[in-house]
Chain A
Amino acid sequence: MTRDSAEVVLSSISKSYAGKKVLDNLDLSMKPGELLALLGPSGCGKTTTLRVLAGMETPDAGSVHIGGADMTHAPVRGRGIGIVFQSYSLFPHMSAAQNVAYGLRLAGASKSRRGARAAELLEMVGLAEHAQKHPGQLSGGQQQRVALARALAIEPRVLLLDEPLSALDAQVRVHLREEIKRIQLQSGTTTLLVTHDQEEALTIGDRVGVMLGGQIEQLGTPEQLYCTPRTAFISEFVGAVNRISATATTGGVQVLGKLLKISNPQTAPASATGLEALVRPEDLVLRADAAGAGIVESAVLRGAHSSIMLDYQGRTLRVDLPTHEAAAFAPACRVSVSVRTGAVLIDSAKTAAPAAAPAPLHHPALGRIA
């Protein structure tokens, strides 16, 4: 469907607004045809990165290459990109079909070809019967589908999606993100999806880049990010995590009575005390044990798996396990806790009181063991 999907390379991009550094020497490269999700908290510079790539902002330093050509100073219309914006961006005075055909009209395509292509694309996004409606008559989800069809109509080499789903209801959002993934696979267009929703990034990204403070903290497959995050920030940002006190010993750290390797030797603090291990809820194992140090407080059903909330030496721990196994751990039951994995991520203990610390986005605030 697409003529060619291009490789994209951003190198050493810096951008400041009024002296405030928004992008700080950022490097990012996308392979042809991949869907790269750019994940980060609000205000970390995601949209700015996208706008630099699109040509709507000029970087203070660094270069933008698309398909091998230097596009740092090329105008937006010369870059071969399609964009879907966070806010609804359909032209209000045009019907859905006219919106989709707009790019082809500018390119001088014949009326019949425009019509055929618009119909084909609206069919692809499942809106064939709404072709004659105006944006005001379409729901938010439908508008974003039309915007996607419109962006794809010009057969872009790179597709940029700036939080296209953030204004939609949860249900529509989940449905539409599957659809975006399907359409992206079908068209094979190199795609950058900007989002602050970790679930969205992990579920549809071929690779995910986590952004913080104008830089890419880590870029990797969803598995790499989730299982071997490079820093504590990433670990907490891409999923739920327990903080458990740890002590450094020769050859690793001691966590819940087990000697484990350190998965982040470069970023781990050097001190031997005041350490915390970051362990995902599904990497903890429970065993009914009358002499155990943990007391089950409650169980939260989450579908196929459940979360057992434990009181462990005064702090709350979350342990995820298959729902049918969770029935064995009733509230007030005593349990012992151990770690399933052989390596953990180590961070220095957070001294702030848990209640005062702002909870990271998108996952429940979890207690930690002092």
Chain B
Amino acid sequence: MALLERTAAPAVQAPAKAAERASAGDILRTVIIAAALLMFFLPLVATAIFGFSLPGQGFTLDPLREALAGTTIGAQLLNTLNLAMLSTAGSLVLLVPTLLFLHLKAPGLLRFTEWLSVVPYVVPGIALVAGANLFFRAVAPGFMVSLYSLVPFYMVLTLPLVYRSLDAGIRALDLRTLWAASESLGAKPWQSIVHVVLPNLRGALLGASLLSCAMVLGEYAIAALLLHSTFPVFMVQVGMNEPRAAAALSFLTILATWLLLAVLARSGSGKTTAKGGSR
């Protein structure tokens, strides 16, 4: 940034023609950004206005309150939060040791697993559900009834993001050397993980968790297909009869997701400045 400003400064003293051209470019840039922001925020603001107002009444929470009255939003919200927590914890417990093992003992396999981790992006959710349905109906018919049968689906769904986030965090460390150092000082593998690896992966763990939570908080298709009542499913049901309440709810959800992402960005940048600031 500082560099940009410094290089931009001489342009001010440059011949008038160049300055004119630069300012024309500036205007164009501003217009494009303004248009993009407008197109991005207008629907959002419209959603908020639609959701939080009634004709002739201005700002009001009435539509939301009415729609929620007599429903069990608390239960659905709790369901979704539970699912988010369980899926995230499950993903981390599964992926952290796996990735550590791959990086330490089988780095050659990483290219394959990286490719594998993208598969959930390619396979549509409905195919996953249909396949699992066929399998579990034959093997364990009761399984799909439980709300928590969604956890493995969500772990698969969030795999690409969680994998990438953790992998990047591990690559930023000199894992082999740190591991060998810890081991030579007498650490068993779990001690190396707890005392050395996890503290240095904090940023990546937080990032992976937030991404996974954000994804689960917004997941509709699979939950609806398996007839589970989660918050996104609830929102869609509300929207059928109460469009204003649905708009208000979805606006709030977007806001919450953004807050999560902001926390993520903060933790990420905090880590890099701490690194760059030292020495």
Contact B180 A150 (CB under 8 A): no
Shortest distance from the beta carbon of A147 to any chain B beta carbon, whole Å: 8
**Using a CB–CB distance below 8 Å, which chain B residues touch chain A?**
174, 177-178, 180-188, 191, 195-196, 199-200, 275, 278-279
With A106-B191, A134-B278, A137-B278 as known contacts, state yes or no: A77 contacts B196, CB within 8 Å: no
Chain B residues in 8 Å Cβ range of A85: 177, 180-181
Report the Cα distance A81→B185, complex, angstroms.
8
Q: B209 → chain A, closest Cβ, in Å? A: 19
Q: Does A369 reach chain B (CB closer than 8 Å)?
A: no
A89 and B279 within 8 A (CB): no
Contact among B178, B185, B188, B196 with A103 in the assembled complex (CB-CB below 8 Å): B185
Does any Cβ of B come within 8 Å of A56's Cβ?
yes
10 example contacts (A-B, Cβ-Cβ < 8 A) are as follows: A54-B184, A56-B183, A75-B183, A76-B183, A77-B186, A85-B181, A90-B181, A106-B187, A136-B278, A147-B181
Interface size class of A (residues with CB under 8 A): 20 to 34
User: Is the CB–CB distance between A89 and B177 below 8 Å?
Assistant: yes
A137 CA to B276 CA, complexed, in Å? 11
Dominant secondary structure of chain B at its interface with chain A: helix
Name B276's closest neighbour in chain A (CB-CB). A136
**A102: CB under 8 A from chain B?**
yes
The 6 closest A-B pairs by CB, nearest first: A136-B278, A103-B185, A89-B181, A106-B186, A93-B199, A89-B177
Q: Using Cβ atoms and an 8 Å threshold, which residues of chain B touch A249?
A: none
Contact across chains for B185 and A106 when beta carbons are under 8 A apart: yes
Chain A, 327-358, CB within 8 A of any chain B CB: none
Interface assignment of A154: CB less than 8 Å from any CB of chain B: yes
B72 to chain A, nearest CB (A): 44
B202 to A, closest residue via Cβ: A93
**Is A137 a contact of B279 with CB atoms below 8 Å?**
yes
Q: Least Cβ distance of B243 to chain A in Å?
A: 51
Enumerate A135-160 residues with CB–CB distance to B below 8 Å: 136-137, 147, 150-151, 153-154
With a CB–CB cut-off of 8 A, which chain A residues contact B200? Answer: 91-93
Distance in angstroms between the alpha carbons of A87 and B174 in the assembled complex: 9
Report the minimum CB–CB distance from A90 to chain B (whole Å).
8
